[in-house]
Structure 1
Amino acid sequence: MKHLSSFPARCTLSVISGAVFASAFPAIGWRWLVLPGLVGLLIALDGEKGTRARTIGFLHGMAVYASGLTWLMEIFGTMAVMLWAVLAGFSVLFAEFQSRAAIRGITGWKWAAFTALNWSALEFIRAELFPLKFPWMTAGLAVGPNSLLPWIGVYGVGLVVVLATAFLVARKWMGGTVALSVLAACVFLNPRVPEPADDDARAVSVGGLQLEGVSLTDYLKGTREMPAGVDLVVWPEYAVPYDIRSDKRDWELVRKLCHERGLTLVFGSKVGLASDKDWRNIALTVDPSGVLGEHTKVHPVHFFNDGAPGKTTLPVPTAHGKIGTPICFDCDYEGVVRGMTAAGAELIVAPTMDAEKWTARQHDQHAELFRIRACENGRWLFVVATSGVSQIIDPNGHLHARLDALKQGPVHGMMKRETALTIYTRVGWLTPWCVLGAAAVCWLALLFKKTRIGKDRDSAVPPNTDP
């Protein structure tokens, strides 16, 4: 590949490709733009090193997050700029190690493999290990539900995406074609699971209420208006923002509702006062007999008073099988739904809060993560959010019901209890850890071993050409 003629041209390409990368996610949502979004960055970095390479990486990262996460301004105001810069720091690290690899003379398929490891490991750290964990806008998430997810998960899919891109940039056409063909096949040949029939012994009729800023009376009324035969009802996170068991009147109203309709109810509630250090944000599961179980939110939202984190990921036994009840942010990360599924959860319901003021774009981006979790673990998943997006998702990640963002009302449909465990739930979740281990070895080698090529930038072999 011929080098770009000037550093400003490289910076411009970096910014443009960052915006293109962000366009792979809602609100635009043109998934395959993730590929040119990465290609532009790799071309801009070709042959660069040091401060110039890091600058290109930073500009790409800032373009991705500033154009893709505009809704952070609604939550944090101007502090959002600092958050974008922190996230862009991972693009800086990626650029730094790409530069070091080029200086070492790493080329061809070895360069492509290192590029995939470098990007995917840093993405995994940013999403799951970094204190400000941020699993949104990853390369694998852009692809959406696909049949690779039950094997290697979203971070493994991201590895394949970047590997395909790097092969193409390195002009390794066979490798790029194979990787892209696998990706395309896994997306387009990922079938929609048929909705279970009413007479299926493993079918569960579910209903939810997408409501924000209403009282317990509204939830009780909305539930009574649902069609007859609904087995399981879900209310959003914080639907009852106090410990209802300590309020005799309200607790009896909920018990009466469950008894009248013969249903199981899952809803967001609290244990303790917001002023207490150890208050908990919980999903409470009840039926006519009383409390069946509760789950404490494992991943409280950063910068919010969202309760003390829970420690367990166990399903709740009910008349409709074992139900996993992760809360909102729990589903942003891979471990909670996987842990519940491995512990026997046959279906998943997730009370969620996405505030109306956070905008529809935030809601739509968040909705994608639930589809990934359903597909990774092969479970029907029912999300009920305050102002959307509420959705019923099948084990392959396809939608069977959806109530869009910023709307209010009921959503209902059929789900099915599943017991088989995916490869991902069993062992495939280790994929990003293996990638991180391999990348760490490469990073250490680049940091501490002498370069094969001298310090002169012009003597570095471009990563797309064989030595």
Structure 2
Amino acid sequence: MELLPARVPFSLRLLLAVASGGIYALAFPPLGWRWLVVPGVAGLLIALQGQRGSRARAMGFLHGLAVFAVGLSWLYELFAAWSFFLWIVLAVFPAVFAHFQGLASARGVKGWHLAAFTALNWGSWEYIRSELFALKFPWLSVGSAVGPNGLLPWIGVYGVSVIVVFGAALLSLQRWKSAAASFALVLGAYLLVPRHPDPSADDPAAVKVGGIQLEDASVHDFVTATEGLPQDLQFAVWPEYAVPYDIRADVNEWKLVQQLCRDRDVTLTFGTQRHETGGEVWRNIALTVDPGGTRGEHNKVHTVHFFNDGVAGTTALPVDTRHGKVGTPICFDCDYEGVTRRMTAAGAEMFIVPVMDAKPWTARQHDQHAELMRIRACENGRWMFVCATSGVSQVIDPNGMVHGRLGAMVEGVLVGSLRRESELTFYTRFGWLTPWMVLGIAGASWVLLLWPKRRDRAAQAKSA
């Protein structure tokens, strides 16, 4: 039975689709009312009941426009009027989702089958938008709204999205008990995640790390701030673009950095550049140095859309340091699942992450971005130290819990301890295939829905 009778005017259905999109956006920072994502999805599904074709697409599109315009309003600070174009592009994905929902309903798919199809349909378009589309955009997914939870080390953020949407679909179909069971699974996985104890000083696997949160500062400023960190510090971190040029081409500043590592006996990871072929080609890198010299570098794999962010790298390997194998993904690398997972599979025992989130991008952007780092730490079961230009810097444990935080729009230092971990989560080994399996099943379903019915084919043959 449909919650909205067929006689309900289309205008009211449109209003519900838009309102549910606004509610969905409130699940993310700055408010971060996580579980509003459920009525945000269920509201759209209720509005779509009995609708197909252009009507379904219009509701999906306006729902998506509300989600992204409200949730990603900070894009206006980056792109001004062009942000409207980005919101429109992103809204196409829920529109296509709604189109296939209409086709499924028209083909008589209902009950449990419709709920399962809804979850697969949503999860697939979310994954395409996040990881496969040319303008990959993984922000504001259902799974990331839920936050770190016990399901992430098994099925990852996209798998969590599928389960939550399945529950929302059951809710919209008035399958109350089944919906409650689905939400109980996710809620339990969210509430029962333990917090790791802070590594003790005498733990041989513990590494004391300090980060400098500064924006538009000189190398001398970073060196001075690092010299003021605790004397027992083992690892220092500066943000992405802390040195926005090739530091190894500046003899004096390069010597200054090397001398700092020798004087303090620390390993240092910081954001800089590597220039090639006479400076015509450059790469955004995380460079790791210790008293013995350069230990290694990571070339940013996921460069930022529409920005001059250097030539993208292709490898995701940890750096071998005195403190174990350390993954050093850069900022946007952690928005996607692949780089941190590949580094973990290659032996990374912890993560040191230089980040640039500029002050003009607003605190809303900073806080939303910080959530994605927690997701990546939890999926792969690794401690993570994030050092950002103007926030958010944080110390995150293998369950995604925050042990130290320096908020947005402040300058300062953050000190914490990480523990080297070697066990691989199921997600790192196999669970990352979850969205691919979802996409495969959904893709087959889309083909069947688009294939004409037997009587339609017969009518076409007769008319020919």
Give the distance between the partners of 2:133 and 2:359, measured in 1 at CA. 28
Give the distance between the partners of 1:452 and 1:54, measured in 2 at CA. 25
Give the distance between the partners of 2:273 and 2:16, measured in 1 at CA. 49
Give the distance between the partners of 1:158 and 1:274, measured in 2 at CA. 45
Picking from 115, 118, 131, the partner of 1:115 is 118
Corresponding residue of 1:222:
225
Is the CA contact (8 Å cut-off) linking 1:104 and 1:451 kept in structure 2? no
Is structure 2 residue 80 aligned with structure 1 residue 77?
Answer: yes
Q: How does 1:160-175 map to 2 (within 5 A)?
A: 160-175=163-178
Deviations 1:192-227 (A, max 9, x none): 111110000000000000000010010000000001
SS across alignment from 1:183: helix
Is the CA contact (8 Å cut-off) linking 1:103 and 1:451 kept in structure 2? no
Is structure 2 residue 60 aligned with structure 1 residue 57?
Answer: yes
Corresponding residue of 2:244:
241
Is structure 2 residue 358 aligned with structure 1 residue 355?
Answer: yes
Corresponding residue of 2:161:
158
Corresponding residue of 1:428:
431
How far does residue 273 in structure 1 lie from its aligned partner after superposition?
7.4
How far does residue 173 in structure 1 lie from its aligned partner after superposition?
2.6
Corresponding residue of 1:398:
401
1:335 partner letter: G
Corresponding residue of 1:380:
383
Picking from 366, 371, 375, the partner of 1:368 is 371
SS across alignment from 2:50: coil
SS across alignment from 1:214: coil
State the Cα RMSD in Å: 1.5
Give the count of matched residue pairs: 454
Is the CA contact (8 Å cut-off) linking 1:315 and 1:323 kept in structure 2? yes
Is the CA contact (8 Å cut-off) linking 1:26 and 1:365 kept in structure 2? yes
Is structure 2 residue 139 aligned with structure 1 residue 136?
Answer: yes
Give the distance between the partners of 1:449 and 1:121, measured in 2 at CA. 23
Corresponding residue of 1:34:
37
Give the distance between the partners of 1:78 and 1:275, measured in 2 at CA. 37
SS across alignment from 2:165: helix
Is the CA contact (8 Å cut-off) linking 1:279 and 1:308 kept in structure 2? yes
Give the distance between the partners of 2:159 and 2:46, measured in 1 at CA. 23
2:179 partner letter: G
Is structure 2 residue 23 aligned with structure 1 residue 12?
Answer: no
Is structure 2 residue 332 aligned with structure 1 residue 337?
Answer: no
Corresponding residue of 1:124:
127
Corresponding residue of 2:184:
181
1:324 partner letter: G
Give the distance between the partners of 2:116 and 2:258, measured in 1 at CA. 58
Picking from 407, 411, 417, the partner of 2:410 is 407
Deviations 1:167-202 (A, max 9, x none): 111122332121111001000000111111000000
Change (3 A) 1:108 1:451: farther
2:305 partner letter: H
Q: How does 1:284-295 map to 2 (within 5 A)?
A: 284-295=287-298
Corresponding residue of 2:459:
none
Picking from 311, 317, 332, the partner of 1:314 is 317
SS across alignment from 1:279: strand
Give the distance between the partners of 1:83 and 1:245, measured in 2 at CA. 38
SS across alignment from 2:258: helix
List alignment gaps of at least 5 residues for structure 1.
Answer: 454-467
Change (3 A) 1:312 1:303: same
SS across alignment from 2:118: helix
Give percent identity, aligned residues only: 58
Indicate the structure whose relative CO is greater, using CA pairs within 8 Å and at least 6 residues apart. 1
Deviations 1:71-102 (A, max 9, x none): 00000000000100000000110110000000
SS across alignment from 1:48: coil
Give the distance between the partners of 1:335 and 1:202, measured in 2 at CA. 26
How far does residue 252 in structure 1 lie from its aligned partner after superposition?
1.0
Corresponding residue of 1:3:
5
Corresponding residue of 1:456:
none
How far does residue 247 in structure 1 lie from its aligned partner after superposition?
1.6
Q: How does 1:271-286 map to 2 (within 5 A)?
A: 271-272=274-275, 278-286=281-289
Give the distance between the partners of 2:86 and 2:455, measured in 1 at CA. 37
**235-244 or 19-28, which deviates more:** 235-244
How far does residue 452 in structure 1 lie from its aligned partner after superposition?
8.5
Give the distance between the partners of 2:277 and 2:337, measured in 1 at CA. 28
How far does residue 451 in structure 1 lie from its aligned partner after superposition?
7.8
SS across alignment from 1:73: helix
Picking from 100, 103, 106, the partner of 1:103 is 106
